[in-house]
Chains A and B, each alone.
Chain A
């Protein structure tokens, strides 16, 4: 139905000129054939008349002398011509004298009416010629002849007709092709416009989908994180509650305090993941020795994993140092270890291996080290493998997985100029390998000392913190470290304190505050007291991520007691030096 209507549409659009030419050609063809046919018929009629004349001449005497046999003989002579259907010789009175007839063409008994003479009717040509002797009519000869049968004539004109029709067809087809081309051009530009519109529409739809996915991911994330956080908070809360009990034995007190420390560390790792994902965590690369780092983590890892897991290390000797953010490295290793744990619900062995990277593993020239974690878990199928690095991609239940682990690992490795590879076999196990480039810089000695949280220096500290709980907590922490603390709730209060001439040894300020931010405050304070050391603290700060902390030291929240003590110590020491 559809192509039919389309064809009909095409027909209407054949240019008038093409149809005109085709029509003209057909007309000329018909005219030529008609003329030919007329000529042919006229010639046939002449021929028939001549034949009749010859017969008339040859039967004159026979008619005159009444010799019917002779007349018959003369008439029969014409029988050899199959086109002559009937021949009759009539005497002066119009009576049939002699003649013959073929089937279907009866010979009139009497002389046919004179009006029929030379007339043609359909396929029949008739001729009536007088038989004369000395100018006197003594009888008539009647002949009826058949023109060539239709088939013969069709065959004769067939070629002409075919040529004409072909020519007309060619013209029409050319016409159609021409219009089709024009139509196609128009359609093309139409569909181009349509395509453009669809592209815009699609972009819009994709944008909407992205938004929806974001929302969904956010929902999943919030759910997962809330769950994790609740678990962690339960541990912290419960431990704190127990610690509050009077007369708690020393070993128990230590165990629960430890539990709080461990759990908080995990919570910190969790928010670290989030921030890494949001790319808002300032990277603080350090030159470290991988083996040292792994060793340092072992305690924490074993505790995280529990008794059902056995972690084995295989650390290659003499590896080059790498320049990475140690916290991110720890989080990455933790993420991979947690995945390994989840892949082996019944427990099992996990191997952490370090080695020199082979050249093919490292992009560009230069050497690298590989840190891999191998489990004997369920493995990853090919389809899943293609997506594991996607943020929020997880095959685990809500609360179990956030889909941010490998995303963090990937982001960390890439940001550190390295790469991640995963080799997995279903049912056999998985090896995740982080490849990190070697650095030429010398090793910085030692991470934060995990020694006793004792401040070497004591001083007067201006604490700027808008949050009441954190402020109170920080105040008590600083007091615990032996410092004298003046608390300000915002930048204005801080500036007022400084302007009042109180002698501070260091200002410890939050970055994100309503009104003037910590960074701006630092600038303002420097104008007044260029020698006053300043330490900033933040959970995250867009400003620090964007512009850095203007060379000021930053303590990241949540901070540990020793980290805080060290930062303040360093700041005061630097100020004392110079």
Chain B
């Protein structure tokens, strides 16, 4: 019985060491990837015509609550366009249907936890993005680190409820897709 225990212990130590080591090294890269992804979702989503910005006016990516990206997101957004529209970044402490966000990363905050933000946005045409690092609550896109790579789950049903259409190309990249109802 001693050796399995010792093995288990050793494994635990190893995992901890790996976790901390990987965590320290991976964290900035993972954040940078996510920052790059966020504005890229814009071309793969279609908003109801009322929400489409007039030509020249930007699509808005909002970071709600905790912001892990900082300058990285601004840089990524600057390099992206959707059609003729640029993409800009707004940082909010709270969000609701009238905030004018096309894409919203819900970083969570005591003022408005992720679940509350999701509730506040229910039915409004905002592509919600949540992060497994933040919590279990899932928006339409949910980041998760898989095999050291940033991947995402997609809840197409939720997107449908928000009158959003997501490109099948995007769906094909998802770790999992919650299909929209055939109605």
Q: List chain A positions with a Cβ less than 8 A from chain B.
A: 57-58, 60-62, 64-67, 70, 133-136
Do residues A65 and B43 form an inter-chain contact, with CB atoms below 8 A? Answer: no
Determine how close the nearest CB of chain B comes to the CB of A66; give it in whole angstroms: 8
Check: B170 CB closer than 8 A to any chain A CB: yes
A134 engages B169 (CB within 8 Å): no
Q: Are B172 and A70 in contact (CB under 8 A)?
A: yes
Q: How far is the CB of B103 from chain A (nearest CB, A)?
A: 15
CB <8 Å contact, B37 and A65: yes
B82 adjacent to chain A (CB < 8 Å) = yes
The answer, yes or no, to whether B81 is at the interface (CB within 8 Å) is yes
- Smallest CB separation, A423 vs chain B (Å): 122
Decide: A65 and B40 in contact? CB cutoff 8 A: yes
Closest 3 CB pairs of A and B: A61-B169, A134-B43, A67-B173
Chain B residues, CB < 8 A from A58: 169, 172
Q: Is the CB of A61 within 8 A of B83?
A: no
Can you identify 23 A-B contacts, CB atoms within 8 angstroms? A57-B169, A58-B169, A58-B172, A60-B169, A61-B44, A61-B169, A61-B170, A61-B173, A62-B169, A62-B173, A64-B40, A64-B43, A65-B37, A65-B40, A65-B173, A66-B33, A67-B173, A70-B172, A70-B173, A134-B43, A134-B83, A135-B83, A136-B81
Q: Which of A60, A65, A66, A136 has most chain B Cβ within 10 Å?
A: A65
A57 / chain B contacts, CB cutoff of 8 Å: 169
Q: In the complex, what residue of chain B is closest to A136 when comparing beta carbons?
A: B81
Which residue of chain B has its CB nearest to the CB of A58? B169
B119 part of interface (Cβ distance < 8 Å)? no
Task: Answer whether residue B99 sits at the interface, using C-beta atoms and an 8 A cutoff.
Answer: no
Q: When each residue 146-183 of chain B gets 1 if its CB lies under 8 Å from chain A and 0 otherwise, what string results?
A: 00000000000000000000010110110000000000
- Separation of A61 and B172 alpha carbons in the complex (Å): 8
Asked if B82 and A134 make an inter-chain contact with CB atoms under 8 angstroms apart, the answer reads yes
Tell me how far the C-beta of B79 lies from the nearest C-beta in chain A, rounded to whole angstroms. 10
* Cβ contact within 8 Å between A133 and B173: no
Contacts of B170 in A (CB 8 A): 61
Interchain CA distance A363-B152 in the complex, whole Å: 135
Of chain A, the residue at the smallest CB distance from B171 is A61
State the B residues within 8 Å of A (CB): 33, 37, 40, 43-44, 81-83, 167, 169-170, 172-173
Which A residues lie within 8 Å of B44 (CB)? 61
Contacts of B37 in A (CB 8 A): 65
Bound complex: CA A58 to CA B82 (Å): 19
Which of A58, A64, A67 has the most C-beta atoms of chain B within 10 angstroms of its own C-beta?
A: A64
Residue of B nearest to A61 (CB): B169
Q: A134 to B40: give the CA distance in the assembly, Å.
A: 11
CB distance from A65 to the nearest CB of B (A): 6
Residues of A within 8 A of B40 (CB): 64-65
Q: Check B173–A134 contact: CB distance below 8 A.
A: no
Residue of A nearest to B82 (CB): A134
B54 CB → nearest A CB, Å: 17
Return chain B residues, CB-CB under 8 Å to A61: 44, 167, 169-170, 172-173
A62 to B44, CA, bound (A): 12
Task: Tell whether, in the assembled complex, residue A134 and residue B172 are in contact, meaning their CB atoms are under 8 Å apart.
Answer: no
Q: Which residues of A contact B167 (CB under 8 A)?
A: 61
The residue in chain B whose Cβ has the minimal distance to the Cβ of A64 is: B40
Question: Within 8 Å CB of A67, what residues of B?
Answer: 173
C-alpha spacing A136/B84, complex, angstroms: 11
Other 10 A-B pairs with CB < 8 A, given A61-B169, A62-B172:
A58-B169, A60-B169, A61-B172, A61-B173, A64-B40, A67-B173, A70-B173, A134-B81, A135-B83, A136-B81
CB contacts (< 8 Å) of A134 on chain B: these are 43, 81-83
* A136: chain B residues within 8 A (beta carbon): 81
Alpha-carbon distance between A116 and B43 when the two chains are bound, in angstroms: 30
A133→B43 CA distance, assembly (Å) = 7
In the assembled complex, the Cα of A70 lies from the Cα of B37 at a distance in Å of 16
- Within 8 Å CB of A135, what residues of B? 83
Which residues of the partner chain A approach B169 to less than 8 Å between Cβ atoms?
Answer: 57-58, 60-62
How far apart sit A94 and B33, CA to CA, in the bound complex (Å)? 20
Task: Please give, as numbers and ranges, the residues of chain B lying within 8 Å of A62 by CB-CB distance.
Answer: 169, 172-173
Min Cβ gap B2→A in Å is: 42
Shortest Cβ distance from A503 into chain B, in angstroms? 168
Q: How far is the CA of A280 from the CA of B33 in the complex (A)?
A: 146
What's the least CB distance linking B61 to chain A, in Å? 15
B37, closest chain A residue (CB): A65
Chain A residues within an 8 Å CB radius of B83: 134-135
Q: How far is the CB of A69 from chain B (nearest CB, A)?
A: 9
Whole-angstrom CA separation of A134 from B167 in the bound complex: 12
Q: A57 vs B83: C-alpha distance in the bound complex, in angstroms?
A: 17
Cα-based distance from A58 to B33 in the complex (angstroms): 22
Shortest Cβ gap from A45 to chain B (Å)? 26
Instruction: Return the chain B residue nearest A57 by Cβ.
Output: B169
Give the interface centre of A57, A61, A135 by most chain B CB atoms within 10 Å: A61
Give complex CA distance A62, B173 in Å: 7
Nearest opposing residue in chain B for A135, CB measure: B83
Residues of A close to B43: CB separation below 8 A: 64, 133-134
Q: How far is the CB of B67 from chain A (nearest CB, A)?
A: 22
Would you give the shortest CB distance from A38 to chain B, in whole angstroms?
36
List the B side residues contacting A70 at CB < 8 Å.
172-173
- For A67, the closest partner residue in chain B by CB is B173
**A67 to B169 CA separation, bound complex (whole angstroms):** 12
Task: Give CA–CA (A133, B170) in the complex, Å.
Answer: 12
Identity of the chain B residue whose Cβ is nearest the Cβ of A68 in the assembled complex: B149
> For the complex, what is the distance from the CA of A62 to the CA of B43, rounded to whole Å?
13
| B82 / chain A contacts, CB cutoff of 8 Å | 134
Q: Complex: how many Å from CA A77 to CA B85?
A: 34
Residue of A nearest to B167 (CB): A61
**What is the CA–CA distance of A39 and B67 in the complex, to the nearest angstrom?**
59
Among residues of B, the one whose C-beta sits closest to the C-beta of A74 is B172
**Best-surrounded residue of B81, B82, B83, B173 (most CB of chain A within 10 A):** B173
Contact partners of A60 in chain B: CB under 8 A: 169
CB-defined contacts of B173 to chain A, threshold 8 Å: 61-62, 65, 67, 70
Q: In the complex, what distance in Å separates the CA atom of A65 from the CA atom of B33?
A: 9
Q: Closest CB-CB distance, B34 to chain A, in whole Å?
A: 11
* Alpha-carbon distance A135/B40, docked complex (angstroms): 14
B55 to chain A, nearest CB (A): 14
B79, closest chain A residue (CB): A136
How near does chain B come to A399, taking the closest CB pair, in angstroms?
A: 132
Docked complex Cα distance between A57 and B44 (Å):
12
Closest CB-CB distance, A129 to chain B, in whole Å?
Answer: 16
